Structure 1
């Protein structure tokens, strides 16, 4: 997002948290942000679209920070994993996302519930894959269930600590719960027992990602950008590298992920920033799915 759009999104998020998503009108966002209705609809097609972009922007920022933290580090480094887990939790806390999610899940709007589910499942997939990287390939069949258990423990520990006004250090809490998960995974390996089989996990992922973008759709977006806009030399160079990677039979995800933020930064304040944002978000989401 460009800075003006991000400011509007920030105001909208604050209203969603304070008043509730359904109770907040587009007019209230417009009034608080001191913008015209046309400006709002230039940024977002609807209130739901506004929320979707807010969640995507937060997740994207967390993803970029986590990727940056892992560069040139040993992928099996447990301390790096703890710091990466901390990043999204801090962003969620800063933006009061848990309160917003609870508000949304109490509504009857399935498309909004889908947004929350997508946000959560992507985080589950990320942690599951990182647990495999850190602990070893031999725990892959147990990683998804271990991830569900981790988030369940974390959710109720945070809830209990909060309502009892108990002090805690987030890093220490994550480290402790991760230690518990490692013990649980050891038990699962020893007994070969799980409650969630691979079919259940894949069903969850399929239901959440059923509207995920395809590679051909992603390439169509790239070709349209290429036809519609005249990039400067620096923008064109990065775009060409990203496009060439997307056209490969096997996309080198780590290469593309490192390029997306620098590419987006080159368009700050430009007229086509929103289109570039949509493209980079689509690329990032696609790479999460493959």
Structure 2
């Protein structure tokens, strides 16, 4: 992503938060960036596209953070607690959509934006189900949809109190509390042999969401950034020998990142070499959370 495109996104996030989506115009965002409106349209075709890009950025941030937690290789229970706690960190920082004050609701009567929001909600629901499956395994199979609905409800309700009640609840303690309540739920369901209320036939809309695809897109973004760096190297103002070295570094980074178990220390060393060049630093910094 270019520096200007990133600047436009950040301006839009701030203005949508401060003024609301409806009250913010493309001209407002262009003026805030000190560019002509036509220059903005080269990057985003409409205010709608800008809003969707922000939503997609939020989801990528969530996915990348979860991936970093999993890479910590903590015990299964600790990973579960860390992921739960991160939900509250994320929503307190970003709100449900854009504004942490929740003054900015998604635009109404916009099918394209509503479709994106609907897909994101289903993706998050399936992510919560994945969390429960990793924690409880086969014990949750019969009630996977009901248990996920209850976990989703707990997270949303407590997020509401954190955001709007300004309650001083420690997020780690909250994650532990919810995890223990889910333990109680699973044990209770097993003990009572309760029949599930939500079954596969009721949840067919979720069959169109590819949770694995969301995580796979992370590799796609990584590869695209490395390719972008490789394409820039021939035009930067350094001697040809340095260009050759940088091209080899980018190729080594691509090769190492494609390994089943990449050596992170090597990836970081290669990234540091790339970011030492000012023309590459912006893209190298974007790569950091993806390795």
Verify same fold: TM over 0.5. yes
Q: Which residue of 2 aligns with 1:65?
A: 65
Aligned length: 260
Question: Does the 8 A contact of 1:124 with 1:144 survive in 2?
Answer: no
Q: Which residue of 1 aligns with 2:203?
A: 201
Q: Deviations over 1:262-282 (max 9, x none)?
A: 999968955996xxx8xx9xx
Q: Which residue of 1 aligns with 2:79?
A: 80
Q: Deviations over 1:84-127 (max 9, x none)?
A: 23334323322334465885556011211122222222222222
Pair 1:64–1:272, CA change in 2 (3 A):
closer
1:28 Cα deviation after fit = 1.0
Pair 1:126–1:28, CA change in 2 (3 A):
same
Question: Does the 8 A contact of 1:64 with 1:261 survive in 2?
Answer: no
Pair 1:263–1:108, CA change in 2 (3 A):
farther
Q: Of 233, 243, 250, which aligns to 1:235?
A: 250
**Once structures 1 and 2 are overlaid, which stretch shifts more, 260-269 or 178-187?**
260-269
* 1:126-275 → structure 2 map (5 Å cutoff): 126-160=127-161, 163-190=164-191, 191-206=193-208, 229=231, 232-240=247-255
CA distance in 2, matches of 1:174, 1:166: 15
Q: Deviations over 1:159-215 (max 9, x none)?
A: 345555533112222221222122222233342422211233342342x66xx89x9
Pair 1:149–1:235, CA change in 2 (3 A):
same
Considering Cα pairs closer than 8 Å and 6+ residues apart, tell me whether 1 or 2 has the greater RCO.
1
Structure 2, gaps ≥5 residues long: 234-246
Q: Which residue of 2 aligns with 1:26?
A: 26
Pair 1:182–1:7, CA change in 2 (3 A):
farther
Question: Does the 8 A contact of 1:125 with 1:144 survive in 2?
Answer: no
Instruction: Tell me the SS of whatever aligns to 1:118.
Output: helix
CA distance in 2, matches of 1:48, 1:233: 40
Q: Which residue of 1 aligns with 2:240?
A: none
Q: Which residue of 2 aligns with 1:124?
A: 125
Q: Deviations over 1:216-264 (max 9, x none)?
A: xx8xx97xx69x947722323344566x78xxxxxx6x87xxx999999
CA distance in 2, matches of 1:17, 1:103: 6
Larger radius of gyration: 2
Pair 1:185–1:107, CA change in 2 (3 A):
same
* 1:85-104 → structure 2 map (5 Å cutoff): 85-98=84-97, 100=99, 103-104=104-105
Pair 1:230–1:27, CA change in 2 (3 A):
closer
- What is the root-mean-square deviation of aligned Cα atoms in Å? 4.3
Pair 1:240–1:83, CA change in 2 (3 A):
same
Question: Does the 8 A contact of 2:13 with 2:54 survive in 1?
Answer: yes
For normalisation by structure 1, the TM-score amounts to 0.69
